[in-house]
Structure 1
């Protein structure tokens, strides 16, 4: 139920954020934006369950997928390895939340999302972390997938 409520609230926020000059495309743009935001909501839920595998499935399984966060990880396998190394257990993962999400469709196949993240965890596990991110997503046969993740904290 909470997941459906969050999707509905995201839809309302996206609809309000659309400039007046874009009102004629209101029927086509919000669904694409909502579909992209759903990817992040799925990430948040998977992370908070401690399910790193489900979290990683929001990325495109490709050697071209990039994770930029202090260094550059190239390829899906490298990205998954980096997450496993940095978050070896549920306690190290903490609790993730996203805020100020903005979805910007580029065309029918690509979109950019920017936003803020916050991870709450004990000092023993590295303490809280927060920052901003920008993501490039591609619409694939398996749905919207992240192909570039640039995260700073």
Structure 2
């Protein structure tokens, strides 16, 4: 009986930790989305690992490094707040793989005054120094 109680406790602990990690990742994404909608690319980028190893894959190919990814966003969107539109996410799946890695899949939508743009993303999140960060972003 004691083993069964210990086993149940361990299972519940794992479920609780995964739920906490999922909520932390969703918070990172929501903070980033809100920053985008304020026109604040610097804060938007806080969801990414600040490393030369971060990878962003778009329809035109991969970009390596935090600084290069920020530069691409700035060149494409930062001319004015109007160029950035209003961002929404449709998060379809958050899969906690282990204590330090997670996979997120969903859709994004940018609404402009007279048009809109839609696509999908897959994100590899890694817990780095206790914080969930995107290490690979494949958006199309």
Q: TM-score range by the shorter chain?
A: 0.7 to 0.9
**CA distance in 2: counterparts of 1:23 and 1:74, whole angstroms:** 39
Q: Which runs of 5+ in 1 are unaligned?
A: 1-21
**Rg comparison, structure with higher value:** 2
TM-score where L is the length of structure 1: 0.78
Other-structure match for 2:48: 59
More strand by share: 2
**CA distance in 2: counterparts of 1:56 and 1:24, whole angstroms:** 32
CA-atom RMSD, angstroms?
A: 1.7
TM-score where L is the length of structure 2: 0.85
Matches within 5 A, 1:89-100: 89-100=80-91
Q: Are 2:91 and 2:104, in contact at CA under 8 Å, matched by a contact in 1? A: no
Alignment: residue pair count: 128
How far off its partner does 1:100 sit?
3.1
Q: Which runs of 5+ in 2 are unaligned?
A: 1-10
Cα distance per residue 1:12-65 (max 9 Å; x no partner): xxxxxxxxxx87843222111111111111111100111100001110111110
How far off its partner does 1:122 sit?
3.0
**CA distance in 1: counterparts of 2:34 and 2:17, whole angstroms:** 27
**CA distance in 1: counterparts of 2:133 and 2:14, whole angstroms:** 24
Q: Does 1:134 align with 2:122?
A: yes
Q: Does 1:106 align with 2:97?
A: yes
Other-structure match for 2:33: 44
How far off its partner does 1:102 sit?
1.6
2:47 alignment partner, SS class: coil
